[in-house]
Amino acid sequence: MAKGEFLLEVRCEEIPARMLAPALRELGTRVFEELMARRLPPTEIETGFTPRRLVLALTGLPEREPDRQEDVTGPPVSVAFGEDGSPTSAAVGFAKRCGIDPSQLERRETPRGEYVAALQSIRGRATSEVLAELTPRLLAGLTWPKSMRWATSQGPWARPIHGIVALFQGSVVPFELFGIASGQTTMGHPVLSPKSFDVSSFEDYRKRLAANGIEIDFEQRRATLVKRMKAAATALGGELVDDELLLDKLSSICAIPGVVEGRFDRSFLELPREVLIASLRDHQSALTVQSRGKLLPVFLTVMDRLDDPEGRVRAGNEWVVAARLADARFFYAEDCKRPLADRAVDLENLSFHARLGSYADKSERVVELCRLIGNALELEAETEEAVEAARLLKIDLTTEMVKEFTSLQGMMGGVYARTEGHPEPVWKAIYEQYQPTSTSDPVPSAIASRIVGLADRVDTIVGILGLGLVPTGSKDPFGLRRAAQGVVRIALEGEMEVDLDLVAAKAYQCYEDRLDLPGEEVLATWRPFLFDRVRHILGREGYAYDEIEAARVVGGSNLPDLRARVDALNKIRQEPAFLDVVLAAKRIANILRDTPEKRLREELLAEEAEMILYQAYVGLKNDVDRSEAEGQYEHCLRAIAKFSDVLDRFFVEVLVMDENEDLRNNRIALLQAIQRTLSRTAALTEVVVEKKSGESANA
């Protein structure tokens, strides 16, 4: 047994898979925080779960809390001492409670007056006593999406509790939760190994469960299940079709990672691949198997046992799968009887949002945005493909297949468009409209798909923001953060050189009078909301916060252009000459703060250093103008870096704030012109220069 070990198991009826991991994380976090607050730090925490048990194991706990002293305030001085200064019974009683002599009492000034106080010595409690106090409270306070009561109003909790193991150093930690007393007795699988047994430690507990085939560690159980699934797929002559989320679910709904295989009639392979996979996944939590890219008439799912001697588990699964695939075949056949274009009228009766109109209205707006984006990209053919796709984009929401399998929305529209013979760029744009759905999901593969993806998301974001429904905290009921992340990834990874602020402004116009907020207010919300995602994504790519901010100040609505500026700044920022210019730019900004614009007059350049600076500025401006137009931002910044010597000389030899007003204003005008040129590629004043770097740059 590990030193200072606390083992906790809560055994209950089956908890839904989606609730298990969050509940265990919450329990582990809260137990750790409570123990740390009591100065009882564990050295290691292990957790585990199966559908019918939550497990927490801590090691390295001290045997008891450390002794401590607390500053305790007693009665007022006027009550604690008599007229002769001797302690009253109130003072004597307070001192006794604190374990000290009355002579050791102190006087303290407080906002309420003068009071007596003392340092009270408190002996730490035994760790087992602390655990007995906090464990039932924390278990009862766990957050569940849904909870229930049972028996004589026991609960609320996720499911009825049947047993609790609570051991510290092998001894029972005594407490009661919902009428169940803690102990050291548990059991294996309720059907396959229902006999109860006592455990003495976490190692003993884990071994006894493993002997019954039960694996409490989720990651280990998942790895075992994946290995067995892949082996079964190979034995069937194919390979497993990847579905990480489904594997997570299957690993959560079993304690014993067994695999059951099944077969279905080969005629169902005539269904589109997407339909087969969705039907097996959504209705039976089953994985599919493929060979050379083609599905095989078999499926794999989990069973909470290692064998199926009479084949009943397999037969039950095959019976359900056959019925579900028959339903899917019926839905598909019915949908194919009516072309997508004929269904467009049905979108008028399908609400996008109660205040933003129907999906027919949304389709019209997306068409307009596709035209704007496509024209900005100067891609005539791709624009027309995107427009055609936009008109059909949401029609699959009216089909029987999508009503049955909501996860297929978008994809089924693409499948039906492909079946009807629409050009590949058109059906692909429909099929890929929701990509990317996550950080690992790829962006749409074709230009038309990207145009449609941008237009659809911008329309949604602007519409919801226009109603004043900005996501707050963890609440984002309309998925705006995910939509904004999609906009950013499509624009960046798809090299979409388009001004997204103009697209958002057009989206606002397309809503006409449906939105509550004025256009400027909506755009003022849109910009930082979108840029939060830009900052996050570029930050994950390794760019520094100040590099991103420096580029944003110059202009952040053309995202590929923004990243090019950030990348150029990232490559050159540590060069000493460039750091000198950054410091000079900050100095110029301080000099010019709140200064009105002045007119530069060449004939007023009086000193050699300022004339040399002016000539260098003219050359720099021409170089930057040319390089900016060609998008050569690294060249721009390197040209700016070469400007440091003449700037240094100017500040050494020339007094900007000369007593002569004409000279002073002209020098300010020269610095203003230089500032505009230095800030063309990135706002250098936003670049953070560490003190050490700055000193070395100025040396």
* 574 three-state secondary structure: coil
- pLDDT tens for residues 539-593? 999 999 999 999 999 988 999 999 999 999 999 998 998 998 999 999 999 999 9
Structural tokens at position 181: 């007393």
Q: Other C-beta atoms within 10 Å of 417: how many?
A: 27
* 117 three-state secondary structure: strand
Q: Which residues pair with 609 in a beta bridge?
A: none
Statement to judge: residues 60 and 84 lie in one domain? no
Statement to judge: residues 393 and 514 lie in one domain? yes
Give the pLDDT score at 123: 83
Statement to judge: residues 100 and 169 lie in one domain? no
Confidence of residue 72 (pLDDT cuts 50, 70, 90): confident
Contact 572, 561 (CB under 8 A): no
The amino acid present at 472, given as its one-letter code, is: T
Give the pLDDT score at 696: 32
Residue 52 phi/psi, 5-degree rounding, is -115, 15
Helix axes 411-419, 312-336, angle to 10 degrees: 60
Give the pLDDT score at 100: 85
Residues in the chain: 699
The amino acid present at 353, given as its one-letter code, is: H
Do β-strands 106-110 and 113-122 pair in parallel, antiparallel, or remain unpaired? antiparallel
- pLDDT tens for residues 368-382? 999 999 999 999 999
Contact 554, 678 (CB under 8 A): no
CA dist., res. 196 & res. 693, Å (int): 68
Number of domains forming the structure of the chain: 5
Statement to judge: residues 305 and 347 lie in one domain? no
Region 193-205: mean pLDDT is: 95
Q: How many CA atoms lie within 13 A of 22 on its CB side?
A: 11
pTM for the full predicted model: 0.81
479 domain-assigned: yes
* 656 three-state secondary structure: coil
Statement to judge: residues 609 and 476 lie in one domain? no
216 domain-assigned: no
Boundary residue ending a domain (192, 211, 230): 211
Region 345-355: mean pLDDT is: 95
Q: Which residues pair with 505 in a beta bridge?
A: none
pLDDT at residue 692 is higher than 60: no
Helix (H) or strand (E) holding 485: helix 480-493
Taking alpha carbons only, the member of 297, 340, 455, 324 closest to residue 387 is 455
Give the pLDDT score at 382: 96
Structural tokens at position 46: 């292990």
Confidence of residue 228 (pLDDT cuts 50, 70, 90): very high
Statement to judge: residues 131 and 271 lie in one domain? no
Residue 317 phi/psi, 5-degree rounding, is -65, -45
Give the pLDDT score at 697: 35
223 domain-assigned: no
Q: What would the DSSP string read from start to end of 141-210?
A: T---SS-EEETTTEEEESS-EEEEEEEETTEE---EETTEEEESEEES-TTTS--EEE--SHHHHHHHHH
Structural tokens at position 445: 């593969």
446 domain-assigned: yes
Structural tokens at position 432: 């890929």
Statement to judge: residues 500 and 601 lie in one domain? no
Domain of 520, in residue numbers:
343-541
Statement to judge: residues 507 and 413 lie in one domain? yes
CA dist., res. 187 & res. 205, Å (int): 10
Statement to judge: residues 19 and 145 lie in one domain? yes
With tokens 């990480």, the residue in question is 244
